[in-house]
Chains A and B, each alone.
Chain A
C-alpha cells in the first residue's frame, strides 16, 4: 500500500507524527500551486489548511490512486473558487483601476527574475496557466492533471505544450532568457 494512505489511516486513529509527516510532504507544493493560482498568501494558507481538513474528515476511505492527486484536486478547486471570488470583488471595488494590477504575490517576490517569471505565468489564459502550474509546481503526471482538471489526456498534453511555447516567447521578450 502507498505509504501516504497508510499514514492517513494512522492519523485518523490519532497518530500525530503520521499526520505531521503527511503535512510536511504535501503542503509545500500545495502552497506554491495555490499561491500561484490565487496570488494571495493568506488564501493559500487557508486553502491548504482546508484541504487537509477535508482529507481528514471527508477524504476517501479507499487506498487507491494517489493521495497527492486527491489533495491537489481539492486544493485546485478551492483555489479556482477563491480566484473567481476575489476577481469578482476586485472587479466590483476597483472597476476604474487598470486590469493588470500586480498581484500580492508579485509584490512579495524578492528576486527580480521570480517577478518576471510570475508575470509571464499570470499573463497566460487560465486553462493553460493551471496545467503548467500543476505540472511544474505540483509535480503531477499528465494523467493526474487530466483527473484534477477533469480534462481529456490529449487536451492536457496540447495545453502544456502551448503553455510552454508561449512562456518561452514571453520570457525571451522580457529579456529573462536569451
Chain B
C-alpha cells in the first residue's frame, strides 16, 4: 500500500484541499494506521502552535460617549423645555379674559404709644391707698387722656 506523503497530510490538516481530493485521502487514512498516526501528529503540532496563553484575556473598553449625554438626549431636553413654554403661554392666554375684581380694604393701624405708665420700685408691696404714689410721667399721661 502506498502511503500519503507529509505535505499532502499537512494540506489535508490545513483544509487546503478541495472536497473530492480530501475525501480520497480520508478514505485511505481510514484504512491506513501509519497515515492516520502521522495526520494526528500534524494536528497536534497545529494545536501546539495555536496554544500560547499570553495572559491577556479581554479588554475593558467603555462604550464611547456613554458618560456624556448624546445629541439625541439634548434634543429631547430642548423639546421638553419648548413644550413647557408652549403650555405656559397657552394657559396664560386662556386666563387673559378673566375679570379680576379687586376690593379695597381700609386698615386702620393705631399709632404706637410713646408713653407708658411707670412704677417705682419697692421691697414689699404696700397696697394701702395712701401709699400709692404717682410717678411724674403718669400724671402727664393722665392729663393727655
Contact = CB atoms under 8 A, between A and B. Distances in A.
A133 to B, nearest CB: 9
B44 interface: yes
Interface string B33-67: 00000000110111011111111111111011110
Contacts of A126: none
Contacts of B3: none
A101 interface: no
Contact of A161 (B10, B59, B60, B66): B10
A123 B61 CA distance: 32
A148 interface: no
Contacts of B46: 136, 164
Interface in A28-48: 28, 30-32, 35-36, 41, 44-45, 48
Interface in B1-29: 7, 10-11, 14, 16
B42 to A, nearest CB: 7
B16 A157 contact: yes
B interface, size bucket: 20 to 34
Contacts of B54: 31-32, 35-36, 41, 105, 108-109, 114
A36 B49 CA distance: 12
A11 B51 CA distance: 32
A26 to B, nearest CB: 9
A117 B56 contact: no
B49 to A, nearest CB: 6
A117 B14 contact: no
B52 A32 contact: yes
B106 interface: no
B76 interface: no
A53 interface: yes
Q: What 9 pairs across the A-B complex have the smallest Cβ distances?
A: A136-B50, A27-B59, A19-B63, A31-B56, A114-B52, A27-B58, A48-B59, A56-B64, A16-B63
21 contacts: A14-B65, A23-B61, A27-B58, A28-B57, A31-B54, A36-B54, A45-B56, A52-B59, A57-B64, A108-B54, A110-B55, A114-B53, A117-B48, A117-B52, A136-B49, A161-B14, A161-B16, A164-B10, A164-B42, A164-B45, A167-B49
